[in-house]
């Protein structure tokens, strides 16, 4: 029996399955990991790429990787990323690329810019490695991911890949080689550190880094510094092959989804100039305008914030990026996530008979599919304008001010970001239940940081070359993948703001 918002999938050679379209049912599915798991259907198709990593893992193997991830995504590490690593990489690389493009008046691909940035940041923070987004590994991983996505559309993939899968197999070889390299370099570093510790007689007086790595779970200071994710994976998993798979899973999740989210956010802002104007007004009120632009040297409206450095650059700490400080900016980021979710669909499988909240009865082994892209555009959840980009849906507006007299003119409205107004079943971009997204806070902070820096410094114009667009709507398309990359990237021309 199938509920009103649950639809049967019937495909020869595949297990029975349903597509769910109800937030209440999805909430149940996400929370019941014991009965509805990743399952063999997903693992068989994704195993060649993700292997033993957290995306496929279950049971103790999954718990060990999640524990390592929780340790890595500590508040202290996020502080280091936002206040040290991200600014350094932006200044050393991203800003130089944008400056050169502005000087040459040439187009630059924002998706590539963001991919380079997130890859480098995650490489430094998680693995203490220099990882180039243009490396053979990155290109191989992107190709392999697109081919894995095609497997879910082709029941005969095992047969067709015999004839068409040579490039896919070559890509997998390169991906796995890089995974082994991550583990090998980490083990060499750890051996070197242990030897240096021994010869300098510091075994009884461990460094602060080692002490923090060994602190009890839940301590916000644990897992501090570069390379601590791979260290935690080595310590908890042991087997180099499993560690390599786990490392590749975290790298993929950390770089791809954040870069794609930023790409679609900037795309939405460039297509909605009024929203772009409001984001900039909010950024200027908090951080002032960039000093090296014609509009520069405007102090922040909030004179309680000391964000300006002596060299004229802006300092952005974690506190300044909170939704309470940048409500409209965060609402814009969430609205882009809603319309362009970085993981557009999910699949799980029952491991025992299950009855869903709407009365749908499923046997063991049934496939459960939901399309986050479609759920995020539901009229019943988001209203009649669900297909429209409107950041205000994430805000509560207030004009009250307790410091004003009753006869004082009405003050301008203030905004409060309400990211929790929708349930996990209604807005499942960050997943939910036991498998909720470990990197949610990192994605929010990095997204806000990049929006502040880019929009404070640069004017951007989309290059509408007519390529990779839907001819009927002139909207840019997504490429085939397990995630949501923009097909052909996002070409823009940049110039210093106000010029």
* Domain presence at residue 330: yes
Three-state DSSP class for residue 477 = coil
Give the per-residue pLDDT at 466: 76
Give the per-residue pLDDT at 226: 62
Given a cut of 50, is residue 32 above it in pLDDT? yes
Average pLDDT over residues 359-368: 95
Q: Is 371 annotated as a binding residue?
A: no
DSSP letters for 55-124: TT--HHHHHHHHHHHHHHT-HHHHHHIIIIIHHHHIIIIIHHHHHHHHHHT--EEHHHHHHHHHHHHHHH
Give the per-residue pLDDT at 301: 53
* Domain presence at residue 220: yes
pLDDT in tens, 184-194: 999 998 888 88
* Domain presence at residue 219: yes
pLDDT in tens, 132-176: 888 899 899 999 999 999 999 898 999 999 999 999 999 999 999
The answer to whether residues 348 and 36 touch, using CB atoms and an 8 Å cutoff, is yes
* Domain presence at residue 109: yes
* Domain presence at residue 214: yes
Given a cut of 60, is residue 1 above it in pLDDT? no
Given a cut of 80, is residue 51 above it in pLDDT? yes
Give the per-residue pLDDT at 472: 80
Structural domain count, the chain? 1
pLDDT band at 307 (very low <50, low <70, confident <90, very high): low
Given a cut of 60, is residue 292 above it in pLDDT? no
Given a cut of 70, is residue 294 above it in pLDDT? no
- Which residue did the predictor score with more confidence, 294 or 471? 471
pLDDT in tens, 235-246: 999 999 999 999
Domain residues for the domain of 430 are 6-482
DSSP letters for 339-350: HS-SS-EEEEEE
pLDDT in tens, 182-221: 999 999 988 888 888 778 765 555 555 555 454 444 444 4
- As a whole number of angstroms, the distance between CA 476 and CA 3 comes to 35
pLDDT in tens, 346-358: 999 999 999 999 9
- As a whole number of angstroms, the distance between CA 314 and CA 294 comes to 16
* Domain presence at residue 496: no
| CATH number assigned to the domain comprising residue 451 | 1.10.630.10
The DSSP output letter for 328 is: H
Q: Alpha carbon of 90 to those of 107, 366, 469, 472: distances in Å?
A: 19, 46, 30, 37
- As a whole number of angstroms, the distance between CA 392 and CA 386 comes to 12
- As a whole number of angstroms, the distance between CA 329 and CA 99 comes to 24
Q: Which of 49-63, 226-240, 250-264, 434-448 has the lowest mean pLDDT?
A: 226-240
Given a cut of 60, is residue 303 above it in pLDDT? no
Give the per-residue pLDDT at 193: 81
Give the per-residue pLDDT at 208: 52
Average pLDDT over residues 490-497: 95
Q: What percent of the chain has pLDDT over 70?
A: 86
The answer to whether residues 440 and 448 touch, using CB atoms and an 8 Å cutoff, is no
- As a whole number of angstroms, the distance between CA 255 and CA 138 comes to 10
Q: Which of 46, 10, 2, 6 is nearest to 23 (CA)?
A: 6
Average pLDDT over residues 447-461: 97
Average pLDDT over residues 370-382: 95
Give the per-residue pLDDT at 302: 54
Given a cut of 80, is residue 315 above it in pLDDT? yes
Give the per-residue pLDDT at 311: 41
* Domain presence at residue 101: yes
Average pLDDT over residues 79-101: 95
pLDDT in tens, 380-417: 999 999 999 999 999 998 754 544 444 445 455 678 99
Q: Alpha carbon of 210 to those of 187, 194, 213, 312: distances in Å?
A: 15, 11, 5, 36
Give the per-residue pLDDT at 259: 96
Give the per-residue pLDDT at 135: 86
In whole numbers, what is the pLDDT of the chain averaged over residues?
87
* Domain presence at residue 16: yes
The answer to whether residues 460 and 493 touch, using CB atoms and an 8 Å cutoff, is yes
pLDDT band at 227 (very low <50, low <70, confident <90, very high): low
Average pLDDT over residues 434-449: 95
pLDDT band at 46 (very low <50, low <70, confident <90, very high): very high
């Amino acid at each position: 029996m199938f509920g009103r918002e649950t639809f049967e999938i019937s495909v020869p050679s595949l297990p029975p399955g349903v597509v769910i379209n109800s937030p209440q049912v999805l909430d149940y599915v996400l929370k019941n990991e014991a009965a509805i798991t990743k399952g063999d259907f997903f693992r068989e198709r994704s195993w060649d790429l993700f292997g033993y990593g957290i995306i496929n893992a279950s049971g103790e193997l999954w718990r060990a990787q999640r524990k390592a991830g929780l340790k890595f995504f500590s508040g202290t590490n996020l502080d280091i990323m936002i206040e040290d690593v991200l600014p350094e990489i932006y200044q050393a690389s991203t800003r130089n690329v944008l400056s050169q493009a502005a000087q040459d008046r040439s187009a630059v691909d924002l998706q590539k810019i963001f991919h380079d940035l997130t890859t480098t940041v995650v490489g430094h923070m998680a693995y203490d490695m220099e990882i180039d987004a243009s490396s053979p590994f990155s290109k191989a991983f992107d190709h392999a991911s697109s081919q894995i996505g095609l497997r879910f559309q082709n029941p005969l993939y095992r047969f067709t890949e015999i004839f068409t899968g040579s490039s896919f197999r070559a890509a997998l070889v390169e991906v796995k080689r890089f995974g082994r390299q991550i583990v090998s370099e980490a083990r060499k570093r750890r051996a070197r550190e242990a030897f240096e510790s021994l010869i300098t007689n510091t075994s009884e007086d461990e460094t602060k880094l080692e002490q923090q790595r060994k602190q009890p779970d839940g301590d916000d200071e644990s897992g501090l510094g570069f390379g601590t994710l791979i260290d935690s994976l080595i310590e908890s998993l042991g087997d180099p092959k499993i560690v390599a798979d786990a490392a590749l899973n975290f790298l993929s999740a950390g770089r791809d989804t954040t870069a794609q989210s930023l790409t679609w956010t900037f795309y939405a802002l460039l297509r909605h100039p009024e929203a772009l104007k409001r984001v900039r007004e909010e950024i200027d009120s908090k951080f002032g305008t960039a000093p090296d632009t014609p509009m520069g040297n405007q102090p922040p409206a909030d004179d309680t914030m000391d964000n300006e450095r002596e060299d004229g650059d802006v300092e952005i700490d974690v506190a300044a990026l909170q939704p309470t400080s940048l409500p409209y900016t965060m609402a814009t980021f969430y609205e882009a996530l809603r319309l362009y979710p970085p993981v557009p669909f999910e699949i799980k499988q029952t491991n025992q008979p299950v009855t869903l909240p709407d009365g749908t009865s499923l046997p063991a082994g049934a496939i459960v599919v939901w399309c986050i892209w479609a759920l995020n555009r539901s009229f019943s959840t988001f209203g009649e304008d669900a297909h429209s980009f409107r950041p205000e849906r994430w805000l509560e507006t207030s004009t009250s001010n307790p410091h004003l007299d009753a006869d004082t003119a009405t003050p301008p409205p203030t905004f409060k970001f309400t990211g929790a107004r929708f349930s996990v079943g209604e807005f499942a971009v960050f997943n939910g239940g036991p498998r909720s997204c470990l990197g949610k806070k990192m994605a929010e902070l990095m997204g806000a940081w990049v929006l502040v820096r880019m929009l404070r410094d640069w004017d951007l114009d989309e290059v509408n070359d007519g390529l990779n667009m839907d001819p009927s709507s002139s909207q840019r398309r997504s490429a085939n993948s397990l995630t949501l990359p923009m097909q052909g990237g996002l070409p823009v021309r940049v110039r210093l703001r106000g010029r």
